[in-house]
Structure formats: C-alpha cells, structure tokens
Amino acid sequence: MRMPDTSEILLLVQGVSLAFGGVKALRDVSFDIRKGEIRAIIGPNGAGKTSMLNVINGFYHPNHGAITFKGQTRAQMQPFEASRGGIARTFQNVALFRGMSALDNIMAGRTLRMRRGLFLQMLRYGPALAEEIEHRHRVEEIIDFLEIEAIRKVPVARLPYGLQKRVELGRALAMEPDLLLLDEPMAGMNLEEKEDMSRFIVDVNNHYGTTIALIEHDMAVVMDLSHRVAVLDHGVKIADGTPDEVKKNQGVIDAYLGVAH
C-alpha cells in the first residue's frame, strides 16, 4: 500500500482530557495525524474513540489540552471552525437527512461552497442557477465515484443500511475535506459491503489525497487499511504505531483479551 509521502503533521492533539461529571472519557491523550495518511483509532467499547472524534470536530470541548490543526493551536475547536477548516465526518449511527434524497444529502455537503444569497436563489436565475448546476457537476462526480447513480433520487430513509453509509460518505466527500473522520464506517455490514467500503476508503485516500482518521472494530480491516494505529483503553492511549507494532504490543493484547487478576 502507498505510504504518505510527507511527514507533515495535519492535526496534533496534545494532552486532551475530557470528563462528563465523574466519568473520565479521555485522560491526557496525545497523538498526531500526518498529512495523507490513514490513521486508525481503535480500542474496546467505551474506550473514548468517538469522544476523541467529537473533540476533534468541536462537538465536545475538552477540559484540558490543545488541538493544533493546520498549524493553528486552540484549546478547543468549534463545529463551524472545524467544518470551515476542512474537517468532515461520518457518524457511527448514520446521521443522514432522512427526509431528503441521496442527491440532496450530498448537495447539502456543498453548502459551505455555495455563495448566492436568498434573493437570487428565490428567483433561481442567472448566477444562482449556474452555481447550482456547477455544484451538481461536482456532486455527480462523487456519485459516480461511490457507484450510487441508481439511487440518487431515492429518499435516503428508504435505502438499505449499507447504501446509507455510502451516501453519508458521499456527503462528507462533497465538502472536499482535508481531514475525513470516519466513525465505524463498516459497523453492521456484511463481508462484501465491508470490502466495498474498504475500497472506497483507500480510493478516497489515493485519489483525492484526503487524510483519514478511522475508528473501526474489525481488526482485519484496520490492520490492512491504516498506516498507523492509536489504541485507546478507558480513555488512555496505551499504544501507537504501525499495525505490526500495535499487534505485538502486550498492553493492547491485554486490553482486548483481558488479564488474569
């Protein structure tokens, strides 16, 4: 598999702690994501993986620590800073706009790039129509890429789960993100769907050069896809390195299989 050609750091998380009352979701977690890599975050249930993603895109605000994205250090992200800065994400439980068609869902991902005001849109004339068509072209490219041409006008609530996941990936791609956060993109899929989704993830990384942070429970997928893996357990980072290093790490084996007390 192609390794990223730079070691430039896109996102750096330093000493992040997050607590909900007495529950410590994250304790002093630090790691980095390099430009162009596929970075996996794994760990047993409740390890704090999704909390980590929520901190990165500004949905949770950490109690301590700093987040450096594209060279800019902040104590916390705001959702609009994250989306404007080029961080897109998909959700563990599909978070599509259920009343809209697949096409409209992906078009909604282009919101930040559409500039025409209310009055031009109301008349749907000249620049507003041209803008709509231009973005439709870009969206159709994504639809092509994800092979969902046949379902573009179907309301997403009617789609099977695997396709919903794919549309959600399409919506995130429509933002043309620099960093794509995927929260369990393969949860609940069968083998074939997992293979499809893995192919799309590798293609996104190769084709668009998008940096990807991935949470996934299927170890075979994680070990095959990712360049580097960070392991969380009970909110603490217990290992970080290439898939091979992580596989051999005793702490990781203990966290997953348990230790005799």
Partner 1 sequence: MLYREAGQFKTTYAEDMAIFPIRQDRIALGILLGIAFVGVPLLATFHIWPFNSEYLLWAILLPFLILALAAIGVNVLVGYCGQISLGSGAFMAIGAYSAYKLGTGVHIPLAWFGFAISIPPLPVLPSILLGGLMAAIAGILFGIPSLRIKGLYLAVATLAAQFFFDWVFLRVPWFTNYAPSGSVNAPRLDFFGLAVNTPIERYLLCLIFITVFAVLAKNLVRGNLGRQWMAIRDMDIAAELIGIRPLYAKLTAFAVSSFIIGVAGALWAFVYLGSWEPLAFSIDRSLQLLFMVIIGGLGSIMGSFVGAAFILILPILLNLIPTQLGVPLSTETITHLEFIIFGSLICYLLIKEPHGFARLISIGKEKLRLWPFPY
Tokens 């994800």 -> residue: 146
Q: Which C-beta is closer to partner 1: that of 109 or that of 243? A: 109
Q: In the complex with partner 1, which residue's Cβ is closer, 52 or 82?
A: 82
- Least distance between partner 1 and beta carbon 151 (Å): 15
131 or 196: whose CB is closer to partner 1? 131
Output the smallest distance, CB 149 to partner 1, in A. 13
Residue 104 vs 218, nearer CB to partner 1: 104
- Closest to partner 1 by CB, 57 or 210: 57
- Nearest distance from residue 57's CB to partner 1, in Å? 6
Contacts of 202 (CB under 8 A, 6+ apart): 1, 38, 225
Site residues for partner 1 per CB under 8 A: 57, 59, 79-80, 82-84, 88-89, 91, 95-100, 104, 107-112, 114, 116, 118, 121-124, 128-129, 131-133, 136-137, 140, 171-172, 175
R_g (Cα) of the chain, nearest Å: 19
Min separation Cβ 155 and partner 1, Å: 10
Write down the least CB distance from residue 5 to partner 1, Å: 29
Euclidean distance between CA atoms 89 and 91, whole angstroms: 7
